[in-house]
Amino acid sequence: MITGAEYRTSLADGRATFFEGERVEDLPGHRVLGGAVNTVAACYDLFYDPKPGALSPLMTIPRSADDLKARIPLLHQADLLAHTTQQSIMTLITAAGRMPDLPHYGERIKAYVEELQSRDARVAECITDAKGDRSLSPGKQPDADAYTHVVERRADGVVIRGAKLHISGASLAHELMVIPTKAMKEGEDDYAIACAIPVNAPGVRIVDVSYAPRHDDNRAFPITSQKHCPEGFVIFDDVFVPEERIFLNGEVRYAAVFAHSLGLWERLGGLAFMAAEADELVGFGQLIAEANGLDRAPHIREKISDMIIHTTLIRASLEAAVHNCKMGPNGEAFPDELFTNAGKYHGAANYSHMVRHLHDIAGASTVTAPAIADLENNEVGALVRKYMSGAEGVDGEYRMRLFHAIRDLTADAYGGWKQLANLQSGGGLYAQRIVTRKHYDLEEAKKRALEFAGMADGDD
């Protein structure tokens, strides 16, 4: 295992990261991205074990429901890049088990996972393509590069070209897991490519955006100033991939296997995030209601009750997904597809409604509360504190800090990012509907209905 300091050093490898028009030569020292580096480094230090051969608990393979359950609290402590690393490992292992007639890919995946574990490396997931004209399939695009594809096959590997969008933490990772974004048709062999690429490989360029705050005084951003992660636009400009790092190469019938495998683990991770996040929304709702002196108002209590039911259903789905896990061909434990997808759908579809409840409970000061620095101004500080005070015994600064936390979490740059991330991560709501329907036993439901109506075979 490596330390946070060793992780920072590992980023000085010639990787090509761009941010707001400039190439970033020093990621740890960057005015914005450096904060995200610190978050990843802190996670390394949190789980660091100096014993020779120690393995990060975030990179182990679950073998039972208990293993899956034990991982959930660890994920709550981990940064987003640790999540994508764990999801990438499990995506590859899941896909390998679903391609039994191509054992050479399974052997490569096994060797690659062991390499990641031995290096304590971080991995970013690269799946969504630029897609060009979305009414056209990959093979019919006027620009073939709209989907990442093979442009040259050599005896020792392939050369790929294209771009992957919305890639969390790409510039902070060591490796990029590149997989097809969807099912491919016959004749689209060049698009059926899955592989692993070092972030600093020649031809890889990453263009970052970030919701990180850009203010000198971060007291108004108590959450995002401590935890933020860039989103990368990852470009593959004729990147060579050696044969041992290729996990699918033209077998179109398995192109969708990787996306479906990633979807399962993305949605489980999203479900775990949502369970904790929904509890936080309840907590903020109750705290600000008490600070405002409205915690006993019937309409406020009703909204908080809705939020409690929401978080309870998410957590119940998470528990059911883990408890009803399925076992893979090599003894790996996989969360139940039905409960994972239904839970993720419920959480994402209702997130904005819960945020609306929180905003309604808190009030307009969520976005208009003065800065904490205003309390320190000799001329207006005392007045700001006085008029920002709430219920009896509630200090103005305490209430202001609650407003700033709620705004930072739900009504600022991160809040906008979160609205979209909850909807789009793991494939979007429609994908979760499809998988939920696929794994629900409709025939059993029909049978029950007929029996209840007295219409089953053998009934009079």
Q: Are 301 and 30 in contact (CB under 8 A)?
A: no
Residue 350 inside a domain? The answer is: yes
Cβ-Cβ contacts under 8 Å for 309 (sequence gap 6 or more): none
293 falls within a domain: yes
- Does residue 63 sit within a domain? no
Separate counts of helices (H) and strands (E) for the chain = 14, 12
Give the range of the structural domain holding residue 368, as residue numbers without chain letter. Answer: 257-447
Number of domains the chain contains: 1
**Token pair in block for residue 283:** 């907590």
Question: One digit per residue, pLDDT tens: the chain, 460 residues?
Answer: 999 999 999 999 999 999 999 999 999 999 999 999 999 999 999 999 999 989 999 899 999 999 999 988 888 889 999 999 999 999 999 999 999 999 999 999 999 999 999 999 999 999 999 999 999 999 999 999 999 999 999 999 999 999 999 999 999 999 999 999 999 999 999 999 999 999 999 999 999 999 998 888 889 999 898 889 999 899 999 999 999 999 999 999 999 999 999 989 988 988 998 999 999 999 999 999 999 999 999 999 999 999 999 999 999 999 999 999 999 888 999 999 999 999 999 999 999 999 999 999 999 999 999 999 999 999 999 999 999 999 999 999 999 999 999 999 999 998 988 888 888 877 788 888 898 999 999 999 999 999 999 998 766 5
Residue 427 lies in a domain: yes
Sequence-distant (6+) residues with CB within 8 A of 6 are 44
Residue-wise burial string across 175-213, b where 16 or more C-beta atoms lie within 10 A, e elsewhere: bbbbbbbbbbeeebbbbbbbbbbbbebeebbbbbebbbb
Q: Would 299 be classed as within a structural domain?
A: yes
Q: Which are the contacts of 261, defined by CB distance < 8 A and separation ≥ 6? A: 90, 91, 92, 94, 95, 98
Residues ≥6 apart with Cβ < 8 Å to 313: 343, 346
Distance (Å, whole) CA 185 – CA 49: 46
Is there a domain that residue 316 lies in? Answer: yes
User: 296 is written with which tokens?
Assistant: 């006993």
In a domain? residue 415: yes
The CATH number of residue 350's host domain is 1.20.140.10
What pTM did the predictor assign?
0.89
Helix axes 255-292, 80-97, angle to 10 degrees: 150
Angle between helices 298-323 and 65-77 (to 10 degrees): 130
Residue 437 in domain: yes
The Cα 34–Cα 32 span in angstroms is 5
Inter-residue contact 323 to 62 (CB < 8 Å): no
- Burial of residue 130, with CB atoms counted within 10 A of its CB: 0-12 exposed, 13-18 middle, 19 or more buried: middle
